């Protein structure tokens, strides 16, 4: 019996030593679901260059404007212009995502030939957002998905005439979480590897998810305007084109999180190659953390790829 106990003890000591050495020598955050190394020139993680994270000194809270729009919606260009004006007036602090969706699909469905409105910018995630938030017409939008920002009786969805006021209010709020994003793109494999750091500044209760949008910076195609006008070379801005980690992203906090806690997530995504607008220089990532119960966005950042 003593010999058996000695063997068990030695096994536990050796196992603990190996585990401890691995934690010291390889401090790469654990990846949920793993990475598809076929989208890289490497066979596995051993040869991959993992990101080095530095202290995030940002102290400003950003605002994400999600603009529900449609290419045959005559009122949508005015809303898009309002969103980009707010974005331009607050460089780096306001981020716009154009989501082509509504519960009725009234302004998104491609028109049959010979119509020039044959584009289809809908995504499964966008359709689910429209259903979840009750977006039954366009244009409507959300500013950080904050309930009752302006006016106090408004739901999460707001007309574009309210976005400027609500954005101004939200820009003055305290920051609860910082986000950093790094990436590697492998052209031959069409592989985009995305790495994120979510750094909670304040103690919070609740469940929080991380979401990564892939948006096309500019897509030029026809758009309808009021009074029967059309613009054939309309510049659609930051078009939601894919969700890197799913419609509602990945849970990073369940229940509560303490100030100073950091979370690391890694994703691999195959960039579509059947459309020139997916050129890497025309793509950006919009990364945000939101409250899973209220849907409110705590922080967002945009990363332009190249």
pLDDT of residue 155: 79
Higher-pLDDT residue of 135, 17: 135
Q: How do residues 67-96 score in pLDDT, each as one tens digit?
A: 999 999 999 999 999 999 999 999 999 999
State the CATH class of domain 37-304.
Answer: mainly beta
What is the secondary structure of 24-66 as a DSSP string?
HH--PPPPSS---GGGSS-SSGGG---------------EEEE
Q: Using the predicted structure, report yes or no on whether residue 9 has a pLDDT greater than 50.
A: no
Query: 278: buried, middle or exposed (CB in 10 Å: 19+, 13-18, 0-12)?
Result: middle
Domain ranges of the chain: 37-304
Comparing 18-27, 132-141, 180-189, the range with the smallest average pLDDT is: 18-27
Q: Using the predicted structure, report yes or no on whether residue 12 has a pLDDT greater than 50.
A: no
Q: How do residues 202-257 score in pLDDT, each as one tens digit?
A: 999 999 999 999 999 999 999 999 999 999 999 999 999 999 999 999 999 999 99
Higher-pLDDT residue of 305, 13: 305
pLDDT of residue 148: 75
Q: How do residues 20-29 score in pLDDT, each as one tens digit?
A: 333 233 333 4
Q: Which residues contact 255 (CB under 8 A, 6 or more apart)?
A: 205, 206, 207
**Average model confidence (pLDDT) across the chain:** 89
106-132: buried (b, 16+ CB within 10 Å) or exposed (e) per residue?
ebbeeeeeeeebebebbbebbbebbee
pTM > 0.85: yes or no: yes
In this structure, the number of other CB atoms found within 10 A of the CB of residue 103 comes to 15
pLDDT of residue 154: 57
Helix %, strand %, coil % of the chain (to 5): 25, 35, 40
Q: Using the predicted structure, report yes or no on whether residue 39 has a pLDDT greater than 90.
A: yes
To the nearest 10°, report the CA torsion of 249, 252, 258, 264.
Answer: -100
| The two three-digit tokens of residue 138, written as one number | 């366009």
Q: Can you tell me the mean pLDDT for 186-200?
A: 97
pLDDT of residue 152: 58
pLDDT of residue 179: 98
């Amino acid at each position: 019996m003593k010999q058996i106990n000695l063997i068990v003890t030695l096994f536990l000591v050796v196992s603990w030593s190996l585990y401890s050495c691995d934690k010291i020598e390889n401090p790469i955050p654990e990846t949920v679901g793993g990475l598809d190394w076929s989208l890289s020139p490497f066979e596995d993680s051993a040869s991959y260059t993992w990101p080095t994270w530095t202290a995030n000194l940002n102290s400003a809270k950003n605002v994400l404007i999600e603009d529900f729009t449609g290419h045959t919606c005559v009122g949508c260009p005015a809303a898009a212009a309002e969103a980009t004006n707010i974005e331009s007036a607050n460089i780096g602090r306001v981020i716009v995502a154009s989501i082509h969706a509504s519960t009725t699909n009234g302004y998104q469905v491609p028109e049959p030939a010979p119509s020039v409105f044959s584009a289809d910018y809908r995504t499964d995630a966008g359709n689910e957002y429209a259903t979840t938030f009750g977006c039954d017409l366009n244009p409507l939008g959300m500013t950080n998905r904050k309930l009752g920002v302006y006016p106090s009786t408004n739901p999460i969805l707001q007309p574009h005439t309210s976005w400027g006021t609500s954005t101004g209010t939200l820009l003055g709020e305290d920051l609860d979480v910082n986000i950093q994003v790094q990436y590697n793109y492998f052209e031959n494999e069409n592989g985009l590897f995305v790495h994120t750091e979510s750094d909670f500044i304040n103690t919070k209760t609740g469940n929080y998810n991380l979401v990564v949008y892939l948006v096309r910076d500019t897509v030029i195609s026809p758009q309808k305007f009021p009074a029967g006008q059309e613009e054939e070379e309309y510049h659609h801005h930051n078009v939601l084109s894919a969700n890197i980690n799913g419609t509602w992203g990945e849970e990073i906090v369940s229940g509560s999180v303490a100030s100073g806690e950091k979370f690391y997530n890694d994703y691999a995504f195959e960039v579509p190659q059947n459309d020139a607008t997916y050129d890497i220089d025309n793509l950006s990532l919009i990364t945000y953390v939101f409250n899973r119960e209220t849907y409110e966005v705590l922080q967002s950042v945009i990363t332009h790829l190249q």
